[in-house]
Amino acid sequence: MKANPISPTIPLDQDGVHHGFLRLPYSRDDSAWGSIMIPLTVIQHGKGPTALLTGANHGDEYEGPIALHELAVTTRAEDVSGRLIVVPAFNYPAFLSGSRTSPIDKGNLNRSFPGRPDGTVTEKIADYFQRTLLPMADIAVDFHSGGKTLDFVPFAAAHILDDKKTQKECFAAMKAFNAPYSVQLLEIDNLGMYDTAVENLGRVLVTTELGGGGTSTAQTNAIAKKGLRNVLIHAGILQGEMQLDPTINVTMPDEDCFLFSDGEGLHEAVIDLGDRVEKGELIARVWPLDRTGVPPREYYARREGLLISRHFPGLIKSGDCVAVVGVS
């Protein structure tokens, strides 16, 4: 396999605090010999595990980048036993444009793994993590939120895996993150996900959905910062006491958790995030855009549980995810 064109501007394996970039050559109209400079901090001290910490895998999700910038600027080398590799904006071009996918190649980084060293910009980023950074890591935390089109109750998540040892370690790390909700997550589209790449290497993964709507709040930022610190203490990299508060455990047994729109319209939420629903209960109505006098289409819960995710913008299109009901 070809070498990846990305090179770090700082050492990845020397003691101390190093701030720099992952430099990805990108020749283009406005910069013939230009590069994409992805911000990177590496903090290493003594022996111990390595944590690979990423935000903005999707460019419009903000709690992760905020928590990781704060970690990079406040952590001293002597606070660490092992190594932190901190990348606040994993899909940096998407982050700069405030969009889920990259404006350069429309690449959804979380559907681009294992990537290609000679592929698009997004595929090159994926390949560098797949073959260079992930093999260095014992644990990975990848922050997500709903972005501009979804909103979530704030949760940390882990997946059911064939590898039961890794699954157990992932669930323990999710519990350590200690978000208000802890979700055993069912993916409807896991092909090419970073999560799967991490888990297939037998590394521990914690992922999150901490809010959404293309912004963050004081509450969701506090959850991200607390969870990050807790996981790093759990991993043995930071010292101190974990802050543990009550969490609501949620499972997603099958695809009946998901409701999808079958037409466009004006979205009316009938229940709110975190509310309990019975099977068959009305969750949302969708009104026509182009005329009065027509009743709305109605969307009903396919199982009883808690509303853990909902469509965010006021207008909805055919195929959009209307809502997700988890079982608690």
Q: Which is nearer to Zn ion, 50 or 220 (CB)?
A: 220
Cα-based distances in Å from 52 to 21, 91, 157, 170, 318: 15, 15, 17, 14, 37
Q: Which is nearer to Zn ion, 174 or 301 (CB)?
A: 174
Interaction of residue 148 with Zn ion, rule CB under 5 A: no
Q: Please, which residues have CB within 8 angstroms of residue 154's CB and are 6 or more apart in sequence?
A: 179, 180, 181, 208, 209, 210, 211, 219, 220, 223
Strand 315-316 relative to strand 150-152, pairing: unpaired
Interaction of residue 58 with Zn ion, rule CB under 5 A: yes
What DSSP state is assigned to residue 318? T
* Two structure tokens written together for 122: 């997004």
Min dist. Cβ of residue 171 to Zn ion (A): 21
Min dist. Cβ of residue 39 to Zn ion (A): 19
Min dist. Cβ of residue 192 to Zn ion (A): 13
Give the whole-angstrom CA distance, residue 277 versus residue 327. Answer: 10
Give the whole-angstrom CA distance, residue 120 versus residue 58. Answer: 16
What DSSP state is assigned to residue 159? -
Segment interacting with Zn ion (CB under 5 A) among 52-60, 125-133, 220-228, 308-316: 52-60
Q: Which of 45, 124, 144, 311 is the binder for Zn ion (CB under 5 A)?
A: 144
Interaction of residue 203 with Zn ion, rule CB under 5 A: no
Segment interacting with Zn ion (CB under 5 A) among 22-30, 51-59, 63-71, 302-310: 51-59
Segment interacting with Zn ion (CB under 5 A) among 39-47, 61-69, 159-167, 217-225: 61-69
Site string for Zn ion, 229-258 (x = CB under 5 A): ------------------------------
Q: Which is nearer to Zn ion, 96 or 270 (CB)?
A: 96
- Tokens 């939420």 locate to 269
Segment interacting with Zn ion (CB under 5 A) among 118-126, 141-149, 179-187, 197-205: 141-149
Give the whole-angstrom CA distance, residue 317 versus residue 328. Answer: 29
Contact residues for Zn ion, defined by CB under 5 A: 58, 61, 144
